[in-house]
């Protein structure tokens, strides 16, 4: 026990955050240490030498990290720029920055070296680009560009793309990079798995191409800094002495390159503090090595190991259920989490007929909770795979239940955003061939394959960028008049926009460019239902550019950060995958889809065997431990796989949950659905007067077919929507509206805040007015 500076029992309640008492004390002594338990405090105060903090779920890991940084700064051990702090996601970095600011009063200038491995990698590379064969303004390729590049290489090498897909090669190369292997270093056997031994040469050629394009891929952001350190002692030396203190969050998820990188910078005796939980290692498929955490004290001799085992998050039952489950894993460091919280409610397990009913049942439970005053913000649905999300979205839209998707189909991945970005990239760096290629003929300008091939040939011949090759081509007679004129005017456009970049704000230029290029017009002319949404996204993109200093700064941000937090504020249920749930917590958590094959996922089992199963189990552990007060597990007896209905086998994890902490819930819905009527105890509240007005019926009509497996009954259940007293709507009949999912339409009927809208492309739907915008 540490010496009692202020004699308070360890169990003393933490002061109310932000309370008067706390703020008063903050003005006097370093109050940031208050409320830490002895282990946490030790983890904060052991600043010198290597430290490994084994922090179980909910043991205050983030708090320790932020406090530790605050402590280092407050005691004058280092300046902010001398601290390297690595987080796993950009979101975590943002959060940590805020929390440190709050701890030490926000007067410290932002820490320049706080971020993900990738973003720190970019920073280092920009500084020393020449040393690894790049220019300072290199571009970062996304997966899409990467694959297109590899496709070109494969066809140049005359390799059948059908037999050896570029995707596979991309995964392979990524794997090598994650292991810190340059082309020369990959083992013979590895090189042989692709195209009969062409793997090494292709990897080598790919790297050479990247250098010519002045580009890096994601893997390079880790591998190239490592190479830089290994080959340039002076640079390494510089970074070694710069970073007085180093902190790494989620250490269990680091891969080999990241490890090697850390080893180099921290040496064996540096002030390196790694925080992690071997039971939460869920990124093995991405090259993460749990081994890194398991052998920390061998890599860093004399390392202090601190265990945080007191859980502050979950109730007794939840913690016990999770602990019992994870105990089935072998090869773990082993921690015994305990809580002083009450036992609470057992984890519930419910069995439903199929995924539609799963969504229905969960939706209903949420509405019930909401009526009891439960905040939607404190509810999350965590699933194994993102395709499970759709069913819930559909259900929630009909229910009018506000939800938010976290980490879903990412903003930057959408085609229209990529296209727009490609325009910006060409303007920003004329030698960005991949961007050029992407948009030469988007929108259609009559510059098809033939023309592009010609440009390509010239570019390769003279080793010049495609834009230059294109301008040569325009001056020649090789193209037919039509494409020639078209290409010429495109190049003129590029030149003009580039010029305007110096006079206009980049956001304005982007809007101008999208209009003048005909790109906006292309989507306006598009009659598909998602075209309006895409135009919205483009607007959003332009809007988000305003926050950046320069075009180059914006481009870098997008390639690294990727999540555009499109202000989804308000009280909403969160939907996300188990992977993106790591580090979060909610009062109530729903865990659907606990069936063998889905969870644990078949592929994890096939590819990784027992290791795969253990990782899946850790994923389950992560899921359960997100819950503070209540965890609901669901399994469906039938699920559609590959489009076919299949009956399922309950997840083996269900049997591994300790019986004392689990209750099997009688949903009654499997039995109840057979009767159809009387399914819900709540539908008497305000049933729809007319069965033909129900969303289920409407949807069945819109689709022109019933996709319900159980005839008759299901549509009735679909109709048991609880009409909530949402009040009157401000939308009028006949008004033109816009909906994120369904596009444009006109209001045909109103019932409280629930409107029936005739969508131009999606047909009639009942939606809640909060999902609509006026147009």
Partner DNA sequence: GATCCATTTGTTTTT
Partner DNA sequence: CAAATGGATC
Query: Contacts with DNA: how many residues (CB under 7 A)?
Result: 43
Q: What is the DSSP letter of 246?
A: E
CB of 89 to DNA, least distance (A): 5
The DSSP symbol for 731 reads: P
Per CB under 7 A, the list member of 315, 580, 625, 648 interacting with DNA is: 580
483 binds DNA (CB under 7 A): yes
For residue 372, report the phi and psi dihedrals to the nearest 5 degrees: -80, 0
* Distance of closest approach, residue 709 Cβ to DNA, in angstroms: 11
Q: Cα(246)–Cα(266) distance, rounded to whole angstroms? A: 7
Site string for DNA, 169-208 (x = CB under 7 A): ----------------------------------------
CB of 359 to DNA, least distance (A): 15
Taken in order 130, 136, 138, 140, the sign of the CA dihedral is positive
Name which position in 98, 160, 161, 526 contacts DNA (CB under 7 A).
161
In the window 709-748, what residues touch DNA (CB under 7 A)? none
Q: Which of 232, 441, 637, 764 binds DNA (CB under 7 A)?
A: 441
Using rule CB under 7 A, residue 707 touches DNA: yes
* Residue (25 or 151) nearer to DNA, CB: 151
541-560 mask for DNA (x: CB under 7 A)?
Answer: -------------------x
Q: How far apart are CA 459 and CA 339, in angstroms?
A: 66
Residue 255 CB neighbour total at 10 angstroms? 22
DSSP string, 109-149: PPPTTEEEHHHHHHHHHHHTGGGGT--TT-EE--HHHHHHH
280 included as an active-site residue? yes
Q: Is 18 in the site for DNA (CB under 7 A)?
A: no
Residues 6+ apart with CB under 8 A from 67: 32, 33, 36, 40, 44, 103
- The answer to whether the beta carbons of residues 6 and 26 sit under 8 Å apart is no
Q: Using CB under 7 A, which of 12, 385, 568, 748 touches DNA? A: 385
Residue closer to DNA (CB basis): 116 or 339? 116
Stretch touching DNA by CB under 7 A, among 36-44, 85-93, 364-372, 687-695: 85-93
Q: Is 665 a catalytic residue?
A: no
Q: Which of 8, 187, 193, 387 binds DNA (CB under 7 A)?
A: 387
Spatial distance between the Cα atoms of 399 and 401, rounded to a whole number of angstroms: 5
Query: Phi and psi (nearest 5°) for 253?
Result: -105, 10
In angstroms, give the least distance from the CB of 18 to DNA: 30
Catalytic pick from 217, 250, 437, 556? 250
Tell me which stretch binds DNA (CB under 7 A): 82-90, 129-137, 357-365, 685-693.
82-90
Exposed / middle / buried, residue 733 (Cβ in 10 Å: 0-12, 13-18, 19+): exposed
Decide if residue 610 touches DNA (CB under 7 A).
Answer: no
- For Cα atoms 697, 699, 701, give the angle at the middle one, nearest 5 degrees: 70
Q: For DNA, which residue of 66, 89, 398, 429 counts as binding (CB under 7 A)?
A: 89
Q: Catalytic one among 280, 339, 398, 694?
A: 280
Interface residues for DNA in 241-270 (CB under 7 A)?
none
626 tagged catalytic = yes
Q: Please, what is the minimum distance in Å from the beta carbon of residue 643 to DNA? A: 3
- Examine residue 447 and tell whether it contacts DNA (CB under 7 A): yes
* Candidates 102-110, 240-248, 502-510, 600-608; binding stretch for DNA (CB under 7 A): 600-608
Active site residue 62: yes
162 is known as an active-site residue = no
Site string (344-383) toward DNA, x via CB under 7 A: ----------------------------------------
Cα 46 from Cα 26, distance rounded (Å) = 22
- Residue ranges of E strands in 616-703: 627-641, 644-647, 662-665
**Could you tell me the smallest distance in angstroms from the CB atom of residue 14 to DNA?**
30
Q: Per DSSP, what are the bridge partners of residue 308? A: 55
Which residue in the set 448, 553, 668, 675 belongs to the binding site for DNA (CB under 7 A)?
448
Residue 651 interacting with DNA (CB under 7 A):
no
Q: Which of 47, 62, 230, 637 is catalytic?
A: 62
- Write the burial class of residue 652 (CB in 10 Å: 0-12 exposed, 13-18 middle, 19+ buried): middle
Q: Which residues pair with 188 in a beta bridge?
A: none
CB of 734: closest distance to DNA in angstroms?
31
Q: Is 285 in the site for DNA (CB under 7 A)?
A: yes
- Closest-CA residue to 312 (of 107, 528, 61): 61
Asked if 604 touches DNA (CB under 7 A), the answer is yes
- Asked if 32 and 69 touch (Cβ cutoff 8 Å), the reply is no
263's CB contacts (< 8 A; 6+ apart) are 299
Please report, to the nearest 10 degrees, the dihedral formed by the alpha carbons of residues 348, 354, 356, 361 taken in order: -20
End-to-end C-alpha distance for the chain, whole angstroms = 65
Q: Which of 249, 416, 530, 556 is catalytic?
A: 249
Q: Which of 61, 177, 179, 310 is catalytic?
A: 61
Distances (CA, A) of 386 to 383, 406, 578: 7, 10, 9
Complex with DNA: residue 65 or 166, whichever CB lies closer: 166
Q: How far apart are CA 258 and CA 722, in angstroms?
A: 51
Residue 117 or 138 having the CB closest to DNA: 117
Q: How far is CA 421 from CA 492, 574, 621, in A?
A: 19, 29, 39
Q: Is 609 a binder of DNA (CB under 7 A)?
A: no
Any bridge partners for residue 306, and if so which? Answer: 53
The interface region with DNA, picked from 10-18, 445-453, 456-464, 753-761 by CB under 7 A, is 445-453
User: Among residues 386 and 544, whose Cβ is nearest to DNA?
Assistant: 386
Pairwise CA distance, residues 147 & 149, whole Å: 5
Quick one: 339 or 388, whose CB is closer to DNA?
A: 388
Distances in whole angstroms, Cα of residue 574 to Cα of each of 347, 580, 632, 668: 20, 11, 15, 26
- Which residue carries 């969960």 as its tokens? 362
| By the rule CB under 7 A, 444 interacts with DNA | yes
Backbone phi, then psi, for 771, in 5-degree steps? Answer: -90, 0
Using the minimum distance from each CB to DNA, give the nearer residue, 178 or 214: 178
Q: Which of 91, 438, 626, 639 is catalytic?
A: 626
Among 99, 579, 652, 741, binds DNA (CB under 7 A): 579
Hey, which residues are catalytic here?
61-62, 249-250, 280, 626
Binding site for DNA (CB under 7 A): 88-90, 116-119, 143, 161-162, 218, 282, 285-286, 384-387, 407, 410, 441, 444-451, 483, 560, 562, 577, 579-580, 601, 603-604, 607, 640, 642-643, 707
């Amino acid at each position: 026990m540490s010496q009692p500076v202020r004699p308070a029992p360890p169990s003393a309640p933490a002061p109310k955050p932000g309370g008067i008492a706390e703020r008063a004390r903050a003005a006097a002594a370093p109050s940031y240490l208050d409320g830490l338990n002895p282990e946490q405090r030790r983890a904060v105060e052991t600043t010198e030498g290597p430290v490994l903090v084994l922090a179980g779920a909910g043991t205050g890991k983030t708090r320790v990290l932020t406090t530790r940084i605050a402590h280092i700064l407050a005691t004058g051990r280092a300046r902010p720029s001398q601290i390297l702090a690595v987080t796993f996601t950009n979101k975590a970095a943002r959060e940590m920055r805020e929390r440190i600011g709050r701890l030490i009063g926000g007067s410290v200038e932002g820490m320049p070296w706080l971020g993900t491995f990738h973003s720190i990698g970019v920073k280092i590379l920009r500084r020393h680009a020449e040393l690894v064969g790049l220019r300072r303004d290199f571009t970062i390729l996304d997966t899409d560009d990467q694959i297109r590049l590899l496709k070109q290489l494969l066809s140049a090498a005359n390799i059948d793309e059908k037999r050896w897909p570029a995707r596979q090669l991309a995964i392979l190369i990524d794997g090598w990079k994650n292991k810190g292997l340059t082309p020369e270093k990959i083992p013979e056997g590895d090189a042989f798995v692709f195209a009969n031994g062409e793997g090494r040469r292709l990897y080598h050629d790919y790297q050479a191409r990247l250098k010519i394009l002045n580009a890096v891929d994601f893997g390079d952001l880790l591998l190239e800094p490592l190479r830089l350190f290994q080959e340039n002692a002076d640079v390494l030396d510089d970074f070694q002495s710069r970073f007085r203190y180093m902190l790494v969050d989620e250490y269990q998820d680091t891969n080999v390159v990241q490890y090697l990188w850390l080893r180099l910078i921290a040496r064996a005796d540096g002030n390196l503090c790694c925080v992690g939980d071997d039971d939460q290692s869920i990124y093995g498929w991405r090259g993460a090595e749990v081994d890194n955490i398991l052998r920390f004290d061998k890599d860093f001799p004399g390392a202090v190991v601190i265990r945080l085992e007191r859980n502050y998050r979950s109730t007794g039952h939840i913690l016990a259920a999770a602990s019992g489950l994870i105990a089935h894993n072998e090869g773990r460091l082993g921690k015994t989490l305990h809580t002083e919280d009450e036992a609470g409610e057992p984890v519930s397990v419910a069995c439903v007929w199929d995924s539609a009913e799963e969504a229905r049942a969960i939706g209903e439970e949420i509405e019930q909770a909401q009526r009891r005053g439960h905040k939607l913000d404190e509810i999350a649905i965590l699933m194994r795979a993102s395709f499970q999300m759709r069913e819930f979205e559909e259900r929630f839209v009909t229910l009018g239940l506000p939800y938010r998707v976290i980490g879903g189909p990412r903003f930057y991945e959408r085609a229209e955003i990529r296209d727009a970005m490609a325009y910006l990239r060409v303007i920003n760096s004329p030698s960005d061939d991949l961007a050029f290629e992407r948009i030469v003929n988007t929108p259609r300008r009559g510059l098809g394959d033939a023309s592009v091939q010609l440009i390509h040939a010239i570019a390769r011949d003279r080793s010049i960028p495609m834009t230059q090759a294109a301008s040569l081509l325009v001056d020649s007679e090789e193209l037919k008049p039509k494409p020639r004129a078209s290409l010429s005017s495109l190049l003129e456009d590029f030149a003009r926009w580039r010029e305007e970049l110096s006079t206009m704000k980049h956001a304005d230029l982007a809007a101008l460019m999208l209009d003048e290029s005909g790109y906006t017009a292309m989507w306006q002319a598009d009659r598909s239902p998602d075209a309006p949404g895409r135009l919205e996204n483009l607007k959003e993109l332009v809007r988000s550019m305003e926050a950046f200093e320069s075009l180059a700064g914006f481009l870098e941000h997008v390639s690294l950060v990727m999540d555009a937090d499109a202000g989804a504020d308000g009280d909403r249920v969160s939907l996300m995958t188990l992977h993106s749930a790591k580090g979060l917590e909610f009062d109530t958590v729903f865990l659907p889809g606990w069936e063998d094959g889905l969870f644990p996922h078949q592929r994890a089992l096939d590819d990784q065997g027992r290791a795969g199963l253990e990782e899946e189990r850790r994923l389950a552990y992560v899921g359960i431990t997100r819950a503070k007060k209540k965890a609901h597990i669901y399994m469906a007896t039938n699920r559609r796989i590959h489009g076919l209905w299949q009956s399922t086998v309950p997840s083996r994890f269900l049997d591994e949950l300790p019986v004392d902490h689990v209750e099997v819930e009688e949903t009654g819905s499997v039995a109840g659905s057979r009767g159809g009527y009387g399914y819900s105890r709540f539908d008497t509240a305000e049933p729809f007067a007319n069965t033909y007005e129900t969303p289920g019926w409407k949807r069945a009509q819109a689709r022109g077919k019933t996709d319900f497996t159980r005839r008759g009954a299901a549509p009735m259940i679909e109709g048991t929507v609880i009409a909530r007293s949402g009040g009157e709507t401000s939308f009028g009949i006949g008004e033109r509206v816009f909906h994120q999912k369904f596009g444009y339409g006109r209001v045909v009927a109103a019932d409280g805040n629930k409107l029936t809208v005739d969508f131009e492309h999606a047909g009639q739907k009942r939606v809640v007015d909060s999902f609509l915008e006026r147009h």
